[in-house]
A and B are shown apart, each in its own frame.
Chain A
Amino acid sequence: MSGALPIERVIPPGAARRRLRGRDPLLAGCVVVIAALVLMALLAPLIAPHDPDASDILAANEGSSLSHPLGTDSVGRDILSRIIHGARLSLLGPALVVVAATVGGVAVALVTAWRGGRVDTVASRVLDILFAFPGLIFAILAVAMFGTGLVAPVIALSIAYLPYIARVIRSAAIRERALPYVEACQVAGMSPLRICWRHLLPNLLPYVAVQAAVSFGYALVDLSALSYLGLGVQPPSAEWGRMVADGQAAILNGNPEASLYAGMAIVVTVLAFNLLADRLVRRTAQ
């Protein structure tokens, strides 16, 4: 038997691919950045060097110093502390939008993919109508009706994002539903609900993750824009979009720090989520 091939040693193609998949420094980088942002939001009171709302007119528009690493804004609040605390509202809003839109969108997708026929046709028409309203217009309408703050824009954007998620997941779900294993589950006697929950959904999770990541980036931009326009989070709450707007006047005086750093926080976060989505797409495509 000395000449026998060591068959156990031969790596099956699946394993080789998984090994390749495991090494994705960009993906790992995105995950680290996002985890850091979330930690920053959670631990804000512990890590922020100053009270984000404590103003000190005498120390307004200061440059970078040991006490204020990113300087102070036009009323003397510590910019770094405001960025750190701002992560809370800035990330909470998109997170709520993503959870609501994803849960709703996936539910619609699974029901339409499962039932097909008339249910699918009617649902698709309703989604088409929703598509016709840009999310921001929706949100501005909601603010006009329910007032400024985080709640109205979050609800409006959840509804506005739902059709996008539903459409993408629906087409993946239709493909998945056509696989014979779904019929095998039916023959086994499983209920449609169980098949969707235990088999279809887990198999669709990679697609859901991608949609959630993409939506998070868009929701952050949209919510920041609304805050910037004065329709979202109100001053003096720390929120990145709000900070960009509040810092605007100081830009003309040659003190762009407040707006600049808040804008950078938005860009970095959006970039991390979009890159994450991109890497996840590649992973599922492999």
Chain B
Amino acid sequence: MPEPVVAVEDLRKEFPVPGAPGLVAVDDVSFELERGESLAVIGESGSGKTTLARMLVGLETPTAGRIEIDGEDRSRPGRRARERLERGRRIQLVFQNPYSSLDRRQPARACIAEMLDLHFGLSPDERDARVRELCEQVGLDERQAGALPRALSGGQRQRVAIARALAVRPQVLVLDEAVASLDVSIQAQILNLLADIRAQEDISYIVVSHDLAVVRQISDKGFVMEHGRVVERGSTVDLLDAPQHPYTQLLRRSVPGPGWTPQRRQRGVHA
């Protein structure tokens, strides 16, 4: 049995609330992610998905619990530079909002190059070759690679963000609603891109989403969160097609499926 690439044990996050008991955003969550797997974290707004993702990448300090990534204890954000770099090389995050997760003064190419410089001692030629390779992998053409974020569309920006994350060849990529702000056809493109990348690279995904269609497309298994707790877990197919927990059933029902037709409200039309 190979060891999981991410193992999370009884992870908990409480945010202090002045004059009240703390708000428990993540409540004793445990899971394991095997290498090459894609895990969905499902739940409606406010269920603690983002907080969980932020703890995984070291942006938030857990109140209690344990995070192990690639066999190393990463329960708290790294304090020393070396720890931060080592964590960054193993786990990367793609943010929800492609409009603000890129430095507006940095062309795509420079953004990716900076990431490479930070982690690897490549010669300028090697680095430029790798930048080209990454741009090609995520489908950015020459013009887009040289463009500032403001000259790119949302989907193109998200490709840059994905290329930046892939630059370090991470073992785990956390996608926090990474396609939620894109329109449906662009969503499909990005999801296909992510599926291709997983087929090519030795990479695992943690897909944070409230969108069951997205989850179905790119994850093998998952769990459902409600108020910070895991209420149900299983393979994506089972979760979506045969939900057991009432909350999952509710989530499932609130999604338009085949046979669902919008009820048009009858309006009185007067001349």
Which A residues lie at the B interface, using CB under 8 A?
12, 14, 179-181, 183-191, 198-199, 202-203
Contact = CB atoms under 8 A, between A and B. Distances in A.
B151 A199 contact: no
B164 interface: yes
Given A180-B97, A180-B101, A181-B103, A187 B58 contact: yes
Contacts of B59: 183, 186-187
A183 B87 CA distance: 14
A184 B101 contact: yes
A181 B150 contact: no
Contacts of A203: 103-105
B92 interface: yes
B93 interface: yes
Interface string B49-66: 000000001110000000
- Please name the 5 residue pairs, one residue from A and one from B, whose CB atoms are nearest each other, closest first: A189-B88, A189-B85, A180-B101, A189-B84, A180-B100
Interface string B165-180: 0001000000000000
B151 A12 contact: yes
Contact of A188 (B97, B100, B104, B164): B164
A202 B164 CA distance: 20
26 contacts: A14-B150, A180-B95, A180-B97, A180-B100, A180-B101, A181-B102, A183-B59, A183-B95, A183-B101, A184-B95, A184-B164, A185-B103, A187-B92, A187-B93, A188-B92, A188-B115, A188-B118, A188-B164, A189-B81, A189-B87, A189-B89, A189-B119, A191-B81, A199-B106, A202-B105, A203-B105
B25 interface: no
A238 B161 CA distance: 58
Given A12-B151, A184-B164, A186-B59, A191 B103 contact: no
Interface in B43-83: 57-59, 81
Contacts of B84: 186, 189-191
B52 to A, nearest CB: 15
Interface string B149-161: 0110000000001
B110 to A, nearest CB: 10
A189 B57 CA distance: 10
A6 to B, nearest CB: 16
B238 to A, nearest CB: 32
Contacts of A187: 57-59, 88, 92-93
Interface of B: 57-59, 81, 84-89, 92-93, 95, 97, 100-106, 114-115, 118-119, 150-151, 161, 164, 168
Which of A12, A185, A189: most chain B Cβ within 10 A?
Answer: A189
Nearest to B87: A189
B162 to A, nearest CB: 12
A189 to B, nearest CB: 3
Nearest to A191: B81
Given A187-B58, A191-B84, A199-B105, 11 more contacts: A14-B150, A179-B100, A180-B97, A184-B102, A184-B161, A187-B88, A188-B115, A189-B119, A191-B81, A198-B114, A203-B105
Nearest to A178: B100
A181 B100 contact: yes
Nearest to B81: A191
B150 A188 contact: no
Contacts of A191: 81, 84
Nearest to B115: A188
Contacts of A186: 58-59, 84
A175 to B, nearest CB: 12
A184 B100 CA distance: 10
A14 B149 CA distance: 11
Given A184-B93, A189-B85, A199 B57 contact: no
A121 to B, nearest CB: 16
Which of B57, B93, B103, B115: most chain A Cβ within 10 A?
Answer: B103
A189 B106 CA distance: 18
Contacts of B164: 184, 188
Which of A186, A188, A198: most chain B Cβ within 10 A?
Answer: A188
A199 B114 CA distance: 11
A79 B151 CA distance: 54
A279 to B, nearest CB: 21
A180 B59 CA distance: 11
Contacts of B115: 188
Contacts of B118: 188-190
A181 B98 CA distance: 9
Given A12-B151, A180-B97, A188 B88 contact: yes
Contacts of A185: 103
Contact of B101 (A12, A181, A189, A190): A181
